[in-house]
Structure 1
Amino acid sequence: MTVVQTLRGNKLALGAAVAALFVIFSSIVVVPESQQAVVLRLGEPVRVINRFRPGVDFGRTGAGVVLRVPLLEEVVRIDKRVLSLEMDSQQVISSDQRRLEVDAYARYRIIDPVKMVRTAGSVERVGDQLQPILTSVLRQELGSNTFASLLTPERGEAMAHIREGLDRQARDYGAQVIDVRIKKADLPPGALESAFAQMRAAREQEATTIRAQGQKNAYLITADAEARAARIYADSFGKDPGFYDFYRAMKSYDATFANPETRGGSTIILSPQNEYLKQFKGN
C-alpha cells in the first residue's frame, strides 16, 4: 500500500466519522420544559414532544433529549408558557356615542400544537391572526356598553364576554385565551369635560325627578292622614258633643294666645267670668 493510498483511506475514514457524527448530532433534539415540539415527517405531523397537558406533574412532561430521523423529520418548537398579545390603541364608540381610546391585551397559550402547526405554522402567526380578532370582538362588546359602565364593576362582565368570544375563535388555531384586560379606556383629548358636564346634567335631572316623586308621595300621605283625622274627629264629635265644644275651644285658644303674631302684638284683657274662657273653668 502506497502512502497516497494510505492518506486516501484516512480521509475516507475521517469523512465517514464526520458524517456519522453529523447524523448522530442531527438525530438528537433537546426539548426544554418551557417548550413543546411537533415532529414533522415530510411536512406532516407525526408526534408531539412535551405536549401541554393540564394537571400533569412537572417531572412527567416528556421534556429532555429525543431522537428524530435526520433530513426526513423536522422539529417545530412551540412555547409552552403563557403568551401575551398586545393590541394597538383603538378608537371604540360606546353605546352612548362616546368615542374611547382603548388599550387592551390578552393572555393565551398553545394547547393543541398539531392544529397550530397545520393552521398557522408558528406561534408568531397565531398572534398575528388573533390580534384583529381581539380588536373586532372588543369593538363589538364595548359598543354595546355605556361609557359609565366601563368605570363600574360591570366592566368585569364585559371583559368576560370578550375573552369568551376571542377564545372561541382562538381554538381554531390550537390556542386557549386565558384572560383579556383593558389597560386604558379614556376619552379623546378635549372630550372629557363635555362628558362630565353631560353626566352631571343627567344626574341632576335624575335627582329632580326623585325629589318631585318624593313631594308627590308626601302630599298623598298628608292628604290621606288629614282625611283619616277628619273622619276620626267627625265620629268623635257625633258621639260626644261636649268633646267637640272642648276641641273647638282649644283650637281657638291656640290660635289666639299661643302665637302673639296673630293679634299684632296687642294685649287682651278678659274677665275670668267671660264666656270665652269657660273651658278653663271646666264648665
Structure 2
Amino acid sequence: MSNLWQRYSSLLVLAGVGLVALMLSIYIVPEGEQAVVLRTGEPVGTVNTINGTKGAGLYLRIPFVDTVRRVDKRVLDLEMTDEEVLSQDQQRLLVNAYARFRIVNPVRMVERAGTTEGVRTALEPILNSVLRQELGRRTFQAMLTAERGSALAVVRTNLDRQARQYGAEVIDVQIKRTDLPDGAPLQSAFQRMETDREREARTIRAQGSRDARIIRAEADAQAARIYADAFGKDADFYDFYRAMQSYDATFAATDENGQPKSESNIILSPDNEYLRQFRGRR
C-alpha cells in the first residue's frame, strides 16, 4: 500500500513538473504584437512580423533558455512640440510637428534600440534636426502655401532613412502648427506682412489704371476712325448727325446724368448759322 502511494505521489510530482514546464514553454502572441525569440541573448526567431510567415497565435519556447521580447506592431506616434526653428527669411518659428512610424524589422530594433521607447528616443532628435534643416531653406510665407507639402515629403524621406537603422519605417510627417513667437517679433512680422500687402495693392491699382488708360485711348482712337470713315462716306449725313447731337445736348430738359437742368432762356436770331439744320442746309 505504501509502495502504491509512493508511486502515485511520484506520478503527481512528475505531472506537476511537466505542467509547470509546459506553462513556462507556452507563449501567446496577439494580433497587435510581434515577437523576437532570444536564446542566450541572440535572436533565433520572430513571430507575427509584418513581412514574416508566422502569424499571431500560441507558440512554444525552451524554458529558462529562450526569452521572448514583444514589439508593438501598430502605427506609433513621435511628437515634437513647440520647437523653435529659424526660417530662411530669419523668422523664428514655433513648430509643432509629429511623425508616425511602425517597426518593420523587430530584430534590428531589439539589437539597436531595445524597445519602442528607445526608438522614439533615438528618432526625436533626428526629426528635430531634419525639420530645422529643411525649414531653414524656406521662408515663413512659403510654409503657408503648397510648398509646405514638398518640404514635409523631404523631411519624411530623410527621417525614414535614419529610422531604418533602428528597424522602423516612417509613414508620415505632419506639422500641426507653425507660428511666430509672441511679443515684438510677432508684431513686427504682422506689420511687415501688412506693408507687403499694401505695396502689392498699390502695384495692382497702378497696373489697373495703366490698363484703363490704354483701353480708353484705344477706344477713342477707334471712335475717331469710325467718325472719319463716316465723314468720308457721306459728309452731309455726318454734318446732320453731329448737329442733331448738338441740338439734343443744348435743348434737352435734363443733363447727361438725367438731372433736370436749371430753367434758362436762349435768344437766337432766326438766321443764326447754328440753326441752319432747322431751315435745311444752304
TM-score where L is the length of structure 2: 0.79
Match of 1:217 in 2: 211
Match of 2:198 in 1: 204
AA matched with 1:206: E
Match of 1:122 in 2: 115
Match of 2:178 in 1: 185
Match of 2:164 in 1: 171
Deviations 1:152-199 (A, max 9, x none): 555444434433332232223221222223233221111322222211
Match of 2:259 in 1: none
2:79 pairs with 1:86: yes
Check conservation: 1:37, 1:51, Cα contact below 8 A: yes
AA matched with 2:180: L
> Following TM superposition, by how much is the alpha carbon of 1:253 offset from its aligned partner in structure 2, in angstroms?
4.3
Match of 1:28 in 2: 26
Check conservation: 1:33, 1:61, Cα contact below 8 A: no
Find the aligned partners of 2:28 and 2:180 in 1 and give their Cα distance: 50
Match of 1:273 in 2: 271
Find the aligned partners of 1:282 and 1:46 in 2 and give their Cα distance: 119
Find the aligned partners of 1:109 and 1:44 in 2 and give their Cα distance: 23
AA matched with 2:216: T
Instruction: Map 1:1-283 to 2 at 5 A.
Output: 23-53=21-51, 62-152=55-145, 154-190=147-183, 191-250=185-244, 252-253=246-247, 257=251, 267-283=265-281
Q: Which runs of 5+ in 1 are unaligned?
A: 1-11, 55-59
Find the aligned partners of 2:234 and 2:166 in 1 and give their Cα distance: 93
Deviations 1:78-128 (A, max 9, x none): 111222212243111223322111122222111121222233232222111
Q: Give the SS at the match of 2:200.
A: helix
Q: Paired residues, what number? A: 268
Q: Give the SS at the match of 2:31.
A: coil
Find the aligned partners of 1:279 and 1:170 in 2 and give their Cα distance: 96
Find the aligned partners of 1:271 and 1:185 in 2 and give their Cα distance: 83
Find the aligned partners of 1:282 and 1:44 in 2 and give their Cα distance: 121
Q: Give the SS at the match of 2:46.
A: strand
- C-alpha distance 282-146 of structure 1, shift in aligned 2 (>3 A): farther
Alpha-carbon RMSD: 3.5
Find the aligned partners of 1:280 and 1:27 in 2 and give their Cα distance: 124
> Following TM superposition, by how much is the alpha carbon of 1:19 offset from its aligned partner in structure 2, in angstroms?
6.7
- C-alpha distance 144-273 of structure 1, shift in aligned 2 (>3 A): same
- C-alpha distance 32-219 of structure 1, shift in aligned 2 (>3 A): same
Find the aligned partners of 1:227 and 1:265 in 2 and give their Cα distance: 36
Find the aligned partners of 1:75 and 1:200 in 2 and give their Cα distance: 61
Find the aligned partners of 1:192 and 1:254 in 2 and give their Cα distance: 63
Larger mean CA deviation between 169-178 and 145-154 belongs to 145-154
Q: Give the SS at the match of 1:37.
A: strand
